[in-house]
Amino acid sequence: MTRCDCTAAWAALQTRFDTDARALDLRTAFAQNPDRFAHFSQQAPHVFADLSKNLLDAPTEGLLLDLARECGLEAQRDAMFAGTAINTTEQRAVMHWLLRYPAVALANTEHSAINNVAAELQQVHQTLDAMLAYADTVRSDAAITDIVNIGIGGSDLGPQMAVLALDAFAIPGKRFHFVSNVDGHELASTLTRLKPESTLFLIASKTFTTIETMTNARSAKAWFAAQGGTDIARHFAALTTNVEAAQAFGISTTFGFWDWVGGRYSLWSAIGLPLAIAIGPQGFRDFLAGAHAMDEHFRTAPLAANLPVRLGLLDVWYRNFHGFGSRSIAPYHSALKRWPAYLQQLEMESNGKRVDAAGEALPFSTSPVLWGEPGTNGQHAYFQMLHQGTEVVPVEFVAVKKERHALAGHQTLLLANVLAQAQALMVGKSDAGGHKHFPGNRPSTFLLLDELTPASLGALIALQEHRVFVSGSLWGINSFDQWGVELGKVLAMDVATRLASGDVTGLDGSTAGLLARLRS
Ligand code: F6P
């Protein structure tokens, strides 16, 4: 594996950027090439992607593909799909893709490396079957009306995003709540709406040690007992790799997963139980199948026609050559409300790293900042900056062709808006007065689903997982650890002790001053 900046393609890309590509004008590019849309768009499983409104041309794309080859991207991808321990700082394999691998007769598959992980695949399906059977029991239990997921990070963002996104497929008569913050306000306000006899708490934590989740779980258990609840086995389940800790906590209904599933990649495991309860076993299997179709596309399509590869290369081009520091995420479907938040963890926790896999400081930038809101709301808030601000921010639109409601007129307006925004960013508008001038030439990617279904959502998520893998691989970083979250956790424990005692010895002046003020 060769780091991107040590390749001939990297130097060639820099030259191309300095001499030609920096000045690319999308309006001219479209005028000169009637095939531009066809060339820079493609249908991948469940997702159509139009990359033609990006600051790319065929020679640059060719060099980016050279870069991928020189970096050994295919070998790195194959290592992930062979179960190699590519998470080197934690000596773990990276196999969230195995969670959506069908239970086929192993000998029949042309993915021969799957045989390396045959035992794991068997465990995956045993656990999946058990979890889906449990989901079915909960679905048919009319006495359980409220499902409360207590978890944070990957144990919250994925299931929360997906349950909201697929609300049109959810079983009627059950409400889903997501409690993540250690701020008691969140749990307390949720509890006021619950009765112990009709509530199921799902304690979701890969490690079963995360302070926020453990604090909320303890308080939920205390509330349950104080309200007269006794049957913990019926009203609490744990979703975790640390089944012993869950049992020690007093929860006997447990669904496990494995250390080769990263927290932000765990929605496909037992962490997906809230989604499985909401959309049912078949819906959850469809969700896995959609993701698997994208896995197969990523694993087998040639680089030039491989959508996660094309997106990941574009990300490197924008970050390292154009210097774009952020990407705005614009889902034009209100059920994708939590899509930007989900992608923030996926990309920024994976690729927000300043050293390569060997621990060497990187001389180039890595993860951009991801941010956004559903359209059309964002248009009436920060799109001003996207159109006329001093920074260029690439936008990633997600649109869904077919609506799942019967309200006349809305869908046409929604689709008109998403098309118009992408168009306006690119074409701009000249005005001598300045204030009404739109420079245009602002790039965007357009992802289009026929319909928002379990399968298409699964494919859309897997697409994002793999594009993050692509940029992370080229940057030479370990996209699967997250050491950067540890220092704050350790300091919080120390500060909690000091908040109780008032001891400020050895603290910096600001922390000491604020601590004293908080205690006064
Ligand atoms: O602190 C970050 C993190 O470790 C994330 O990577 C993870 O998704 C989250 O905390 C929750 O962890 P757990 O599922 O172990 O409670």
122-142 pLDDT per residue, tens:
999 999 999 999 999 999 999
User: To 10 degrees, what angle do helices 58-70 and 307-316 make?
Assistant: 100
State both tokens at 289.
């199948």
Work out which ligand 1 atom sits closest to the CA atom of 271. Answer: 14
CA-closest residue to ligand 1 atom 16: 205
CA 481, CA 483: separation in Å to the nearest integer? 6
SS3 assignment, position 380: helix
Distance CA 199, CA 342 (A): 26
- Compute the distance from residue 347 Cα to the ligand 1 centre, in Å: 14
379 lines ligand 1 (CB under 6 A): no
- In the reported structure, the alpha carbon of residue 510 is separated from the centroid of ligand 1 by a whole-number distance in angstroms of 28
CA 433 to chain centre: 42
Whether residue 123 has its Cβ less than 6 Å from ligand 1: no
242 ligand 1 Cβ < 6 A: no
The ligand 1 atom nearest the CA atom of 155? 14
Q: What is the mean pLDDT of residues 275-298?
A: 98
Which candidate, 335, 341, 391, places its Cα nearest to that of 370? 341
210 lines ligand 1 (CB under 6 A): yes
Average pLDDT score over residue span 247-257: 97
Catalytic residue among 61, 212, 349, 465: 349
Q: Is 492 in the pocket of ligand 1 (CB under 6 A)?
A: no
Q: Does residue 154 line the site of ligand 1, with CB under 6 A?
A: yes
Could you tell me the pTM of the whole model? 0.98
Reported as a pLDDT band with limits 50, 70 and 90, residue 84 is very high
Share of the chain above pLDDT 90, in %: 97
Beta carbons within 8 Å of 98's beta carbon, 6+ residues apart: 83, 117, 120, 121, 124, 260
For a ligand 1 pocket test, name from 207, 216, 479 the mutation site with the most ligand atoms within 8 angstroms of its C-beta.
207
225 within ligand 1 shell (Cβ under 6 A):
no
Taking alpha carbons only, the member of 150, 447, 507 closest to residue 327 is 447
Q: Does residue 78 surpass a pLDDT of 90?
A: yes
The reply to whether 4-70+301-476 and 116-277 are identical in fold is yes
pLDDT in tens, 175-231: 999 999 999 999 999 999 999 999 999 999 999 999 999 999 999 999 999 999 999
Q: Which residues on neighbouring strands pair with residue 203, listed in sequence order? A: 150, 238
On the question of pLDDT at 107 being above 80, the answer is no
> Tell me, what's the pLDDT at 110?
79
Q: How many Cβ atoms are within 10 Å of 204's Cβ, its own excluded?
A: 34
Distance (Å, rounded) from C-alpha 249 to C-alpha 40? 53
User: For residue 412, how far is its CA from the centre of ligand 1 (angstroms)?
Assistant: 40
* pLDDT, the chain, mean: 97
Mean pLDDT, to the nearest integer, of 8-33? 97
State the Cα–Cα distance between residues 85 and 87, nearest whole angstrom: 5
User: Mean of the pLDDT values across residues 161-173?
Assistant: 98
Average pLDDT for residues 248-263, to the nearest whole number? 97
Determine whether 333 is an active site residue.
Answer: no
Active site residue 380: yes
Residue 296 has pLDDT above 90, yes or no: yes
- Count the helices and strands in the chain (H runs, E runs): 20, 11
- Report the CATH fold assignment for 4-70+301-476: Rossmann fold (3.40.50)
Enumerate the H helices of 393-446 as residue ranges: 410-427
> Using CA positions, which residue lies closest to atom 6 of ligand 1?
263
Q: How many residues does the chain have?
A: 520
Where are the domains positioned within the chain?
A: 4-70+301-476, 116-277, 486-519
Q: How far is the CA of 467 from the centre of ligand 1 (A)?
A: 21
- 254 vs 246: CA distance, rounded Å: 7
> How far is the centre of ligand 1, averaged over its atoms, from the C-alpha of 241 (Å)?
12
Of 34-48, 109-123, 168-182, which range is least confident? 109-123
- Per-residue pLDDT, 1: 85
Is position 410 annotated as part of the catalytic site? Answer: no
Q: Is 155 in the pocket of ligand 1 (CB under 6 A)?
A: yes
Q: Please count the CA atoms within 13 angstroms of the CA of 392 that sit on its side-chain side.
A: 17
Ligand 1, closest atom to CA 263? 8
Index of the ligand 1 atom closest to the CA of residue 152? 11
Give the span between the Cα atoms of 346 and 480, in whole angstroms: 10
- Active-site residue (options: 380, 410, 429, 436): 380
- Best substitution site from 485, 487, 491 to test ligand 1's pocket, by max atoms within 8 Å of Cβ? 485
Is residue 87 within 6 Å of ligand 1 at its C-beta?
no
Helix (H, G, I), strand (E, B) or coil at 405: coil
Extract the tokens encoding 36.
């531009």
- Residue whose CB lies within 8 A of the most ligand 1 atoms, among 150, 155, 202, 351, for a mutation test: 155
Fold for the domain defined by 116-277? Rossmann fold (3.40.50)
Contact 312, 8 (CB under 8 A): no
Cα separation, 322 vs 17, in Å, equals 8
Whole-number Å distance, alpha carbon 62 to ligand 1 midpoint, is 38
Q: Which of 206, 351, 465, 491 has most ligand 1 atoms within 8 Å of its beta carbon, as the pocket-test mutant?
A: 206
- In this predicted structure, the answer to whether residue 98 has a pLDDT above a threshold of 60 is yes
- Ligand 1 centre to CA of 19 (Å) is 44
* 106 band by pLDDT with thresholds 50, 70 and 90: low
